[in-house]
Chains A and B, each alone.
Chain A
């Protein structure tokens, strides 16, 4: 837990007074819920039956052999309902909101995974849900918009500012400030003003607790845990039971993007570009320009494409308990392909960054020890991002023919066959 909202010098409640009361009330309710047996039991059952917990700890035998070093294990969070760890937090917060008597849920989303998880949790708990999403993100993440709407959520296009994730956060904060007596705002990552970082870690810590039990059961000698870090909700939940211990090594993979230059990545911890700042209600390490304006970031993975990092992770990074490494888009794509071919497991682009770190480290660690990768999400959602990379010609033909079919109103059984793409080099 934080010390009154702070982790070392990071964290806090740097918000306008309009948000102070909703945050204070939420903090009280959250503190009560963590010791409320009925709440915790209801959460446990939902985790088991709705999310599908525990998720497996999978021995990646082929990958281990191919890498020739430490045993590689994968925590399969991507098998959780809606395809990622996001549901752990969304469901927990929605349940908490319901016990607080709130009748409406709002959320922000960037790529759409958190919005999707929140929409599903709200459908399950019978609460109306509105998801704020930047107009630019809506354009590039249509499949998740369609799925959120399928769960009955209303997706609200945010047209202010840069029309992306940070503007969606602002818009959700604004809505919450005006209607907090009826509404709860489910933040999707372990950041924002207190109590959100504590609360999100609490609901995500189920990942780490399961890993602790599963590795004990199998008598694993765990040398390192690897997780990707955007805002950091999967990482802090995965690392949570081990933070106070000296072992294992905890490694966070940041988005190295297309290179080390300004605006080319989202490296807050392993490089020298970030500085202390106060943004979105909390103090942490941020990518800022010299005036303190939030810098543009870049990553192939939408979930890591964020200029800040959860305050607890930033603090643990400075203290040395967590090591951070930057993984480029290219390395992440290699890891994606490696685990897909070796294990028949498709990582989300975000999680592939964690996979890439394990690939780098495997040889440095002896074969009697284990490295555990948190596969925070599965990769189905990334088909619109990976297809243009791995099979650009076929993908274009497919999209074109689907569009033609839609325009002509032809049933798939009667549509004309896809023109065959030249299956040769040049596709890769």
Chain B
């Protein structure tokens, strides 16, 4: 666990949003702002576990011609710039299944991915993802939800995963999350098998981070950054957009960490 005042941040970004050049500077700004991990999402046409902000960002990215190949190139570039920041890849089953899960994970390994989060390949219907990850030395990161039955959560926490992503509420990413005793009890249950807990869904403020700090290994924030990008992006002025977005993202990351 991290110390009282400084919690680690796992910052989420969509590769290629609002375009490849700016998303690279978003990655830089997140690291500059103090992120300890980056969760890089490869856009999928039907991201059913994401909120409207990320869904719309993914649709826009795909409309601009995003491909898995470009996504992997993006990750390789981020990895080269920030070799000390572990990169986790987030996407959906379809993108891993289409090329074959083995070959997808092998490719992920090559570009420097340290863990994968694929919410619609749950730990007991994973299509061989867990085995492929083990073979390549990548962490399979399951997503726990507060609505899970205690039996199912127990099964997950006892399965010896290095990390578990804990969704802080029953909904989907990006809307309002209140952190109460129940949330903290859930986080502690997720951690009970020894996994490092990445807590996210609706984290927007330093206040939330502070109340989570003793219960998670890192907080995850995503939609809040996407919203900053969307608000500051002006396609008519790429240069100015890039500067504005980078400074907004860095400031937001610092605010969430509480630094």
Contacts and interface: CB of A to CB of B under 8 A. Distances in A.
Interface of A: 12-18, 20-22, 24, 159-162, 166-167, 169-171, 173-174, 177-180, 275-281, 286, 288, 290-294
Contacts of B99: 290-292
A160 B55 CA distance: 7
A15 B142 CA distance: 12
Given A14-B122, A16-B119, A160-B55, A292 B172 contact: no
Interface residues of B, number: 43
A162 B172 contact: no
Contacts of B45: 161-162, 166, 293-294
A14 B93 contact: yes
Contacts of B119: 16-17
B120 A278 contact: yes
Nearest to A178: B171
Contacts, number: 132
B127 interface: yes
A12 B148 contact: no
B94 A288 contact: yes
Contact of A180 (B49, B51, B147, B149): B147
A276 B97 CA distance: 8
Given A21-B147, A177-B170, A292-B99, A281 B48 contact: yes
Given A291-B67, A292-B99, A293-B62, A14 B121 contact: yes
A292 B56 contact: no
B167 interface: yes
A150 to B, nearest CB: 28
A268 to B, nearest CB: 15
A18 B97 contact: no
B97 A291 contact: no
A278 B127 contact: yes
List the 6 closest A-B pairs by CB distance, nearest first: A292-B98, A178-B171, A16-B119, A278-B93, A292-B94, A16-B49
B117 to A, nearest CB: 10
A174 B69 CA distance: 29
Specify which of B119, B120, B148, B167 lies most central, judged by the most chain A CB atoms within 10 Å of its CB: B120
B144 interface: yes
Interface string B57-69: 0110010000111
Contact of A291 (B58, B95, B147, B169): B95
Contacts of A177: 147, 170-172
A17 B167 contact: yes
Contact of A281 (B52, B96, B120): B120
A164 to B, nearest CB: 11
B148 A20 contact: yes
